[in-house]
Structure 1
């Protein structure tokens, strides 16, 4: 199993095309095992925290909901 290890520098260098390809893989959900999909999901989530402008069109794939901390 391949583990997700991507640095902040690598995320900073990602292009909109690379993020689109990642989102397309998640949309198709055609992985050979669940861990591949989970790794892509975690990568998209990491990008969302560091470069939200790249993930904006695909935020629905993350199923993020605002938290009520009150």
Structure 2
């Protein structure tokens, strides 16, 4: 079965993600700041959300995604 990621430069994604990892907390905070600035209508979806926990979930999802690119 052909991977849907077959045309992605996997090494570039992996290398870029390794650079983000040491600043993961800042990256995740920046992601949500940018999301809410660009799409303020989404902020209410996170109204009762513990954003620290949500950030960890986002980061863990990204880790799984990047680690799964070669499978």
Give me the TM-score of the superposition, normalised by structure 1.
Answer: 0.37
More helix by share: 2
Higher relative contact order (CA 8 A, sep 6+): 2
* Max Rg structure: 2
